[in-house]
């Protein structure tokens, strides 16, 4: 297994979706609201403020979602606007309660009606994501701009996301950067994070790891949960800094404390592989399970891998199957598809089914998973579970060799070259050259 760069670096869409939804609700009742909201709300009362802070701590620090739900539900029904927004967020995220974007919208609108300055941004998120309403980027922009006018820290970041992705507007990274910098001036941790990501990925700007590190650290200083993972990954792989496993460990541990699923998963990999620490499968399992609870798309696959291999636990194919399928159900995770394919190919915990193995390998291979590409190439080369196709087999092995410099893939290519005509080899190379992940 390998560590993965924080999830919002994996794809631009994921980046921006997560970048503005996670922390805008993390406000304190001491934050300044507009005059009308302040005069009509009990937010400023010490008792309500104390209860709000207690709910905030339960939600973000203790991850006691049941307690947070109880506190914010009580305050919201009593008319506290800030708590109505937070309760809406709880329903939108499905933390401690069934996810219900319709109910989230109801509470956001109640809060907006009282002048809560964060509610419009959250309403915008529902329109942007098409959650409980038809997706409507124009409506999202309208609500984000209202949030910006009210001074919400997260609103400029949300507007920047629309420009970065070209959602409802012409894609314009320069305009996105302008809005992110406005969010950064308001000390929005996700604005700082997204600026870092643009430099880290070279998306719309010249790639600059030094600038990325600077902005990630500024974001982390404001408590952003994703930034420590990004910093840890840069130290792990040596992006713009000397490789430093001890620094990577330090930052991943901070990410765990902040509840970031990707940092928790990456630290689990360190314990599973004995990177910078004594190999400890039990600790790896604990971290993977924690990452899974926080919504990690990768952790279920890792848990399945531990059960399939009997690492720190008794080999249990039924458990492995359960976790691989959970990963696939959650996100069509390609490594889980590959691993499940291996189980069908070998008949581990299931009836041996080469056709199903081929289907799973192909699905993962099309997403760019090199393990699956290699395994699919094997089946196509030998005509196992499918019709033999040497051209397709050569294509997949060529892709693996190009991406990983795999000796095994080169050996397969040499074998195929002896069996294929020069025209077939040329066609296979053309297919590999033009291939793109889905």
Domain presence at residue 184: no
The pLDDT, as a whole number, for residue 1 is: 56
Q: Is 194 within the bounds of a domain?
A: no
- Give me the half-sphere count of Cα atoms (radius 13 Å) on the Cβ side of residue 237: 13
The pLDDT, as a whole number, for residue 204 is 87
Q: Which of 136, 152, 168 is the last residue of a domain?
A: 152
CATH number at residue 49: 1.25.40.10
Continuous H helices in 153-298: 155-165, 173-185, 189-201, 209-221, 227-237, 245-257, 261-273, 281-293
Q: Is 412 a domain residue? A: yes
Burial per residue of 215-252, b for 16 or more beta-carbon CB atoms within 10 angstroms, e otherwise: bbbbbbebebbbbbbbbbbbbbeebbbeebeebbbebb
Predicted TM-score of the model (pTM): 0.81
327 closest CA partner among 350, 358, 349, 305: 305
Is 135 domain-assigned? Answer: yes
Query: Among residues 134, 152, 170, which one ends one of the domains?
Result: 152
- Interatomic CA distance for residues 415 and 219, integer angstroms: 52
Distance from C-alpha of 330 to C-alpha of 346, rounded to nearest angstrom: 25
User: Do the domain assignments include residue 416?
Assistant: yes
Is residue 89 domain-resident?
A: yes
| pLDDT tens per residue across all 438 residues of the chain | 555 444 333 333 333 333 333 333 333 332 333 333 333 344 457 889 999 999 999 998 888 999 999 999 999 999 999 999 999 999 999 988 999 999 999 999 999 999 999 999 999 999 999 999 999 999 999 999 999 999 999 999 999 999 999 999 999 999 999 999 999 999 999 999 999 999 999 988 999 999 999 999 999 999 999 999 999 999 999 999 999 999 999 999 999 999 999 999 999 999 999 999 999 999 999 999 999 998 899 999 999 999 999 999 999 999 999 999 999 999 999 999 999 999 999 999 999 999 999 999 999 999 999 999 999 999 999 999 999 999 999 999 999 999 999 999 999 999 999 999 999 999 999 999 999 998
Domain that holds residue 145: 25-152
Return the pLDDT at 63.
84
Domains in the chain, number: 2
Buried b (16+ CB within 10 A) or exposed e, 399-411: bbbeeeebeebee
Q: Which one of 91, 121, 152 terminates a domain? A: 152
């Amino acid at each position: 297994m390998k560590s993965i760069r924080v999830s919002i670096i994996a794809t631009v869409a994921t980046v921006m979706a997560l970048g503005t939804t996670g922390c805008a609700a993390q406000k304190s009742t001491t934050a300044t609201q507009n005059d009308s909201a302040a005069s009509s709300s009990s937010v400023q009362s010490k008792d309500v403020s104390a209860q709000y802070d207690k709910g905030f701590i339960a939600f973000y620090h203790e991850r006691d979602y049941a307690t947070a739900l109880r506190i914010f539900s009580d305050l919201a029904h009593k008319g506290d606007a800030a708590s109505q927004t937070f309760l809406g967020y709880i329903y939108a995220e499905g933390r401690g309660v069934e996810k219900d974007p319709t109910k989230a919208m109801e509470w956001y609108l109640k809060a907006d009606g009282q002048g809560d300055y964060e509610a419009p941004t959250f309403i915008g998120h529902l329109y942007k994501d098409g959650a409980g309403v038809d997706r409507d980027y124009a409506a999202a922009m309208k609500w984000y701009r209202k949030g910006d006018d009210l001074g919400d820290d997260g609103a400029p970041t949300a507007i920047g996301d629309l420009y970065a992705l070209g959602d409802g507007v012409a894609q314009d990274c320069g305009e996105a950067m302008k809005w992110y910098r406005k969010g950064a001036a308001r000390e929005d941790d996700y604005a700082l994070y997204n600026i870092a990501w643009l430099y880290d990925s070279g998306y719309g700007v010249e790639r600059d790891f030094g600038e990325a590190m600077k902005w990630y650290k500024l974001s982390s200083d404001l408590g952003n949960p994703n930034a420590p993972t990004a910093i840890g990954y840069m130290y792990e792989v040596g992006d713009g800094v000397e490789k430093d496993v001890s620094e990577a460990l330090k930052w991943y541990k901070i990410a765990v404390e902040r509840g970031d699923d990707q940092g928790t998963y990456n630290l689990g990999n360190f314990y599973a592989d004995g990177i910078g620490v004594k190999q400890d499968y039990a600790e790896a399992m604990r971290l993977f399970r924690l990452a899974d609870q926080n919504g990690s798309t990768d952790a279920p696959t890792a848990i399945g891998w531990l059960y399939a291999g009997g690492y720190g636990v008794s080999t249990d194919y039924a458990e492995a199957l359960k976790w691989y399928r959970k990963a696939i159900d959650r996100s069509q995770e390609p490594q889980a598809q590959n691993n499940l394919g291996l189980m069908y190919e070998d008949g581990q915990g299931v009836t041996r089914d080469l056709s199903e193995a081929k289907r799973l390998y192909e699905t993962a291979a099309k997403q760019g998973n090199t393990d699956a590409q290699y395994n699919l190439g094997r089946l196509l080369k030998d005509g196992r579970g499918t019709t033999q196709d040497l051209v397709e087999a050569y294509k997949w092995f060529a892709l693996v060799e190009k991406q990983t410099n795999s000796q095994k893939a080169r050996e397969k290519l040499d074998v195929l070259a002896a069996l294929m005509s020069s025209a077939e080899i040329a066609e296979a190379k053309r297919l590999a050259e033009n291939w793109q992940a889905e």
